[in-house]
Amino acid sequence: MITLTCKWGLKINVKKTKICIFEKKRSRRLFNWKINNEIIETVDEFGYLGIKFHHTGNMANTVKALNDQALKAYNQLLHVFSRISEAVKTKLALYDSLVVPIILYGSEVWGIYSTPENNKIHLRFCKLILGVKQQTPNAAVFGELGRFPLAVICKQQALHYWIKIMNKQDSLMYRMFKNKDCI
């Protein structure tokens, strides 16, 4: 195992270090990244804090994985509801506390993309607790409960994150955006 000590005294395990080059199409890589003459592995995707990043920038796999996890929590919640009787307001509060955070995890990053999958579980739940058919118009269901589609909330969170970045002019993200030559 090769370790590298950086100027802050942190040790980097080069064997565990990987690099992902973001590009729309696969290009021929005529170079290798190295640390201490040790070649760093180039990967097509990597996970960071529970989010899967793909070299094309496509976040569809991330959204699908989050929805699969949320579906498990949703089914557990339905199991609880089948055993006890609760008011609609309580059911919505429990759903918002236990399922929605899983669906929206990391939406500051991927929320700008169109992800209709996010609304499927949400709509199914809303229609279930109202006791209406699945064919009931979505706008009527959201209006009755005073809710918004999760896709709208994703875009809102992504926008808030962008505003936060643009207001921190000393941040790396802001400097990278303003100096597009370094990207």
* pLDDT above 80 for 104: yes
| pLDDT confidence band for 129 (50 / 70 / 90) | very high
CA-CA distance, 60 to 49, in Å (whole number)? Answer: 17
Q: Domain boundaries in the chain?
A: 3-43, 60-162
Q: Whole-model pTM? A: 0.72
Closest CA to 104 of 129, 130, 53, 69: 69
* pLDDT above 90 for 72: yes
